[in-house]
Amino acid sequence: MAVPDRSGRAREEKDVRAISTSTSTVSVGIHDISTATGHYALPLETLAAQHGIDPQKFLVGIGQEAMSLPAEDEDPVTLAASAAAPILARHGAENIRTVLFATETGVDQSTAAGVYVHSLLGLPRTARTVELKQACYSGTAALQFAASLVARDPSQQVLVIASDIARYALDSGGEPTQGAGAVAMLVAADPAVLELDPFSGVYTRDIPDFWRPNYLSTALVDGKLSIRAYIDALTGAWRDYREHGGRAFEDLATICYHQPFTKMAVKAHVALAEVAGQPVEKDVAAAQLADTLHYNRLIGNSYTASMYYGLASLLDHREDLAGQAVGLASYGSGSVSEFFSGTVRDGYRSHGRAAETRAGIEAREVIDYARYRELHEREVPVDGGEHELPRVTRAPFRLAGYSGHRRLYERNA
């Protein structure tokens, strides 16, 4: 039975209209994308010299040139806020109803890191905020959840942020793949950058290839197992993608892969091409992916942000992608993978941020091994006392210190 509202019209009519809107076909995707990285950079030639090994082992063997490192007053929260601020400056915040923060280097076991970002950015209180975690995959989970929310109500926008600091033990196999970075994305209806396809493929398997217990500040990894797990999860997600209506391999202009190191993306592409019946040699695969590798090669692994740095690199370096479909291959150890795709929108270049991304990478302070080691050995204080941090970063936001077991953030003067 319809119940009249104050205007005398039946609520039933409104409900039918709402249902019609929510189930209609809506173009949803990435409306804007912005990045941030750490204050410092360590060239891998410096690390190679310290270990007495040929630098080509890093430059060619894993495809990395440098790693980004956070300053003493930077963490995943400040990187995230710095990545997201340009999006708000361009689009405003009045339509943002949700903030999804993806990270595997969260700063609190209870409060979502996104709540701190919400405060730093001055976002409306009428915006829900949640943190997501599943190794390097959760940035994709956040993007897919965001797309669903926007499809339900196209008037809303969702701010998705993936931010991480990859940190391994000194002298470990993972050490040269360390990095720091954040990617923020505004998800909206009628997106200006990338329209997401309505289908994807997923894969989950319990496998101990990479993990970080609560009592450790550095991650643990079984390198050989992790490579096999990545390939297995990727190909499993691809098969599921195709079974659910996904595009043929040859219909994709290129694919952006999760990049723990850039050579891993090349390995993944060779394996996927074989499964898809379109085999390629390693050198051909490297050429096909070249535009997706520029940024990750310079900043190292940024975990949840890694694949999206690859997407930013592709958008900034490929001559013209308008109207073309691209694949996105997300992987998170443990393990979860998703393969999905989207179409680059006409006019996407006018919304790009290539100059800003390059400027952020080039502005890093290059340090020597002694300074790197000093930074690596710093630990978060656990006594709950007053700890003021030195002002180092030039980014818009900083971690000012600690007090009463709490982190204190501020805008950078």
Active-site residue, 104 included: yes
Contact 74, 393 (CB under 8 A): yes
Give the DSSP H or E segment for 78.
helix 76-91
DSSP state of 348: G
State yes or no: 61 annotated in a binding site. no
Going by C-alpha positions, the residue among 323, 327, 328, 319 that lies closest to residue 345 is: 323
The DSSP-derived string for 151-186 is: HH-TT-EEEEEEEEEE-B-TTSTTGGG-EEEEEEEE
What does each C-alpha distance from 119 to 36, 127, 129, 176, 400 come to in angstroms?
18, 11, 11, 34, 15
What six digits make up the tokens of 133? 């975690």
Cα separation, 322 vs 314, whole angstroms: 12
Backbone angles phi, psi at 146, to 5 degrees: -60, -45
DSSP-based three-state secondary structure for 17? helix
Q: Is 379 marked active-site?
A: no
Known binder of ligand: residue 346? no
Q: Which tokens sit at 366?
A: 């290059």
Catalytic residue among 258, 269, 294, 376: 258
Contacts of 265 (CB under 8 A, 6+ apart): 257, 258, 259, 289, 292, 293, 310
Which residues have C-beta within 8 Å of that of residue 394, sequence separation ≥ 6? 39, 363, 412
For residue 33, the number of C-alpha atoms closer than 13 Å in the C-beta half-sphere is: 28
Active site residue 386: no
The torsion region of residue 133 among left (phi > 0), alpha (psi -120 to 50) and beta comes to: beta
Helix (H, G, I), strand (E, B) or coil at 120: helix
**Tokens found for residue 30:** 């990435």
The Cα–Cα gap between 271 and 214 comes to 34
Catalytic residue among 136, 269, 338, 376: 136
Q: State the Cα–Cα distance between residues 137 and 135, nearest whole angstrom.
A: 6
31, 39, 104, 118: which is the annotated catalytic residue? 104
164 marked ligand binding residue = no
Three-state DSSP at 380 gives: coil
Q: In angstroms, rounded to a whole number, what is the distance separating the alpha carbons of residues 410 and 78? A: 9
Instruction: Select from 191, 139, 152 the least CA-distant residue to 29.
Output: 191
**Residue with the two structure tokens 């076991």:** 109
User: Which residues does the annotation mark as catalytic?
Assistant: 104, 136, 258
Name the binding residues for substrate.
173
Annotated binding-site residues for (3S)-3-hydroxy-3-methylglutaryl-CoA read: 54, 168, 267, 301
